[in-house]
């Protein structure tokens, strides 16, 4: 999860997603400590695909309160050497809050360094490039669009039990909007500045 733009009330949904993620991390950490250590795996897996269920859960909760939303966030990883992998994480977000529709399509990508020397298991660090397109629309009164661009760094740990993966990651990104265009009752809007933001990653997936 790495949404950062503040084009509409969608930021309330984003903050809720961060809150749920932070409160989920600590119980999950306690749970995973009681499970078998991932290093017990003997078969080397070089590819994995994961999904982040938190965004989807928040979307379901928001939709149940008549705030239509959709959030899809996945991650594909493939090893290129014994300790380096390539990561690709697409993201799609749609919200309709009080007739204000917001769309976001983005991706983050970068190399993944496996600190634990166990391919796609154990500790990792991932520098990444963030890019995306955001668009907000409310009838004929309010329109905004912008490209998002930034850099980030994420570090975390991946547990593996046979083909099942569970991943927790935290990090920071420095990003902002470029090419910003806004019209509010025929008046131009202000261009938001760049800034720091959190990266919170919870992934459940499959490796092979």
The label of the residue with tokens 């996945």 reads: 74
Q: What is the pLDDT of residue 91?
A: 92
Tens digits of residue pLDDT in 10-40: 444 454 454 445 444 444 444 444 455 544 5
The DSSP bridge partners found for residue 171 are 154, 199
Q: What is the pLDDT of residue 140?
A: 66
Q: Indicate the DSSP class of residue 151.
A: E
Tens digits of residue pLDDT in 158-204: 999 999 999 999 999 999 888 877 766 555 555 567 889 999 899 99
Tens digits of residue pLDDT in 81-134: 989 999 999 999 998 877 788 899 999 999 999 998 778 899 999 999 999 998
Residue 6's pLDDT band (boundaries 50, 70, 90)?
very low
CATH architecture for segment(s) 10-161+169-207 = Beta Barrel (2.40)
Q: What is the pLDDT of residue 133?
A: 92
Asked if residue 48 has pLDDT above 50, the reply is: yes
Q: What is the pLDDT of residue 192?
A: 60
Q: What is the pLDDT of residue 185?
A: 54
Q: What is the pLDDT of residue 181?
A: 76
169, two tokens: 């990651």
Identify the CA nearest to 202 among candidates 22, 36, 77, 13: 22
Q: What is the pLDDT of residue 132?
A: 95
Query: Is 69:63 a contact under the CB 8 Å cutoff?
Result: yes
Tens digits of residue pLDDT in 63-89: 887 778 888 899 999 999 989 999 999
The pTM for the full model equals: 0.75
């Amino acid at each position: 999860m790495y949404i950062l733009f503040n084009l509409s009330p969608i930021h309330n949904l984003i903050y809720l997603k961060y809150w749920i993620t932070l409160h989920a991390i600590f119980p999950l950490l306690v749970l995973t400590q009681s499970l078998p250590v991932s290093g017990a795996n003997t078969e080397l897996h070089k590819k994995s695909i994961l999904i982040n269920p938190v965004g989807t859960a928040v979307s379901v909760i928001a939709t149940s309160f008549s705030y239509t939303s959709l959030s899809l966030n996945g991650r594909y990883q493939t090893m290129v050497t014994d300790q380096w992998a390539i990561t690709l994480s697409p993201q799609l977000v749609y919200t309709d809050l009080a007739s204000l529709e917001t769309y976001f399509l983005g991706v983050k990508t970068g190399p993944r360094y496996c600190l634990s020397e166990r391919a796609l298991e154990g500790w990792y660090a991932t520098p990444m490039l963030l890019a995306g397109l955001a668009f907000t629309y409310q009838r004929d009164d309010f329109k905004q669009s912008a490209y998002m661009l930034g850099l980030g760094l994420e570090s975390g740990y991946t547990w593996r039990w046979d083909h099942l993966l569970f991943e927790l990651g935290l990090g920071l990104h420095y990003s902002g909007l470029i090419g910003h265009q806004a019209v509010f009752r025929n008046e131009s809007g202000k261009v938001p500045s760049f800034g720091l933001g959190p990266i919170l990653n919870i992934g459940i997936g499959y490796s092979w």
